[in-house]
Amino acid sequence: MKTYIVGNWKLNFTVGEASIYLHKLLKALPNYRDIEVVVAPSTIALQPLSLQVDRHKMKLAAQNAFYRDYGAFTGETSFLQLRGVADYAIVGHSERRYIFGEDDKTTQKKVAAAIRNKITPILCVGETESERAFGETVDVISDQLIGGLTDVADDDLDKVVIAYEPVWAISSTKAAKLAAPDEVAEAVALIRKILVDTYGEKSAKEVPILFGGSVNPSNAGAYLTVPGVNGLLIGGSSLILSEFTDIIEVAKRVKS
Ligand code: PEP
């Protein structure tokens, strides 16, 4: 399986800044066959960047899209409109869940819409600090995972990527705590078990499971060597080109 290094730029960079970053990244990036490099710019930058990107070297992800293809949904962009523009889409990110109130039902429809439009959903699951404190981690991960995958047929499971992102370890607004590698291992093993129980061993084995939560060049190696982790979803550190390329280098070293 490839190692996935996915940068989530969130609400950062103008289109011009995103284009300059991409230009520099493409220049710095060799053609790694076993590392899937992906960045997720703002929706407005996706179209121009899709004309600029070299898909042999890396791919683009949407940070969000709406599950209906078209209609009276003011302000939305559909997965249909992103077809051919983005190869991946982040779905169920904790910022969508907790800032924008997206529940498992919405996430489920978005996962299905992404697959329908040939976009690979990166389904994010993870517990909040208080859910962990109340011993609800297993239930939360199970609900988000099973909920998000409800409409995914057995044959389509190979079109899905899962990201375990404990909300308490994401550093978007505050200095976050770091997840310990054994905590990540435990959650990733749970995710794999749920996939095996639902879809069978053979299909479940093929699903990449990423970790995200304050990943940077210094801790990337530790997370990438956690058993069952197939890649990283990176927020803050992906905004600094040198850090993102350093993380890609770490992935290459771990892989070899
Ligand atoms: C994220 O928001 O997906 C994320 C992992 O952010 P950070 O790396 O900044 O914690």
Q: Ligand 1: which residue has its CA nearest to atom 1? A: 235
The CATH code of the domain at 3-255 is: 3.20.20.70
pLDDT-based confidence at residue 172 (cuts at 50, 70, 90): low
pLDDT at 174: 60
Average pLDDT, integer, range 162-183: 87
What mean pLDDT value characterizes the chain? 96
* Residues 90, 63 contacting (CB under 8 angstroms): yes
Query: Above 90 in pLDDT, residue 147?
Result: yes
Concerning whether 56 is annotated as a catalytic residue, the answer is no
* Residues 210, 242 contacting (CB under 8 angstroms): no
Pocket of ligand 1 (CB under 6 A): 8, 165, 170-172, 212-215, 233-237
Average pLDDT, integer, range 172-188: 85
Q: Ligand 1: which residue has its CA nearest to atom 2? A: 235
Q: pLDDT tens for residues 210-245?
A: 999 999 999 999 999 999 999 999 999 999 999 999
Helix, coil or strand: residue 187: helix
Could you state, in order of their start, the residue ranges of all structural domains in the chain? 3-255
C-alpha dihedral (251, 255, 92, 106), degrees to nearest 10? 150
Q: pLDDT tens for residues 33-81?
A: 899 999 999 999 999 999 999 999 999 999 999 999 999 999 999 999 9
Q: State pTM to two decimals.
A: 0.97
**CA separation for the pair 109, 205 (Å, rounded):** 24
Average pLDDT, integer, range 89-98: 96
pLDDT-based confidence at residue 152 (cuts at 50, 70, 90): very high
Selecting among 93, 127, 131, 243, the annotated active-site residue is 93
pLDDT-based confidence at residue 181 (cuts at 50, 70, 90): very high
pLDDT at 173: 57
**CA separation for the pair 1, 18 (Å, rounded):** 29
Selecting among 95, 102, 127, 165, the annotated active-site residue is 165
Beta bridge partners of 123: 91, 162
